[in-house]
Amino acid sequence: MIETVNFKGTDYPLFQTNGNAARFCRAFALEVCKGDVIYDIGYNREEWKFPNAIGVDLLDNNEFDAYNLPPFQADAIHSSHLLEHLQDWVAALNYWTDKLKSGGTLFLYLPDESQLYWRPFHNRKHVTQFNPSIIRDYLFYSGRYKNIFVSGVDAYNSFIAFAEKI
């Protein structure tokens, strides 16, 4: 039996309400997030953090957050279901890009606008809604990335985007 939750007349898989969205993109992330210094920004719980990553989350009660990363240049930055919570996602991505080494990987897993509950007018914790073309355009037009990959929407109503810093 597939458990569902109904939101405004649309059924969604119940597992979408359990958090840890990163588990649905982990296989891809493990293929491209490599190196000695990997940040997982917004991981939420230690058991959800990308393996061997330096975790950056407001729940850590430390000085670091999405706009103030540790002082090391990163080989990869991994972030799952965080960008939609930030007031200025463009400033965050620009800053993250500055913190990546040349050849480093930016890996994002983002909620898609196809999930009605995640839209900002329903879920007030979200301040932005995304779709693959918005993120693809950011990565391309920033002029700072190559080997850009942006997936379609998956069964978690989310999508993957990753690219290599020039």
CATH number at residue 126: 3.40.50.150
Asked whether residue 86 is domain-assigned, the answer is: yes
Asked whether residue 8 is domain-assigned, the answer is: no
- Helix ranges restricted to H, 4-151: 26-32, 89-99, 132-141
Asked whether residue 154 is domain-assigned, the answer is: yes
Asked whether residue 48 is domain-assigned, the answer is: yes
Asked whether residue 155 is domain-assigned, the answer is: yes
| Six token digits for residue 120 | 């900002």
Domain count, the chain: 1
pLDDT in tens, 83-100: 999 999 999 999 999 999
CA–CA distance, 7 with 5 (Å, rounded to integer): 7
Asked whether residue 4 is domain-assigned, the answer is: no
Judge if pTM exceeds 0.75. yes
Asked whether residue 129 is domain-assigned, the answer is: yes
| Owning domain of residue 78 | 21-165
Terminal C-alpha separation, the chain = 47
What's the chain's Rg over C-alpha atoms? 15
pLDDT in tens, 18-75: 999 999 999 999 999 999 999 999 999 999 999 999 999 987 767 889 999 999 999 9
- Bridge partners, 38 (sequence order): 76
Asked whether residue 73 is domain-assigned, the answer is: yes
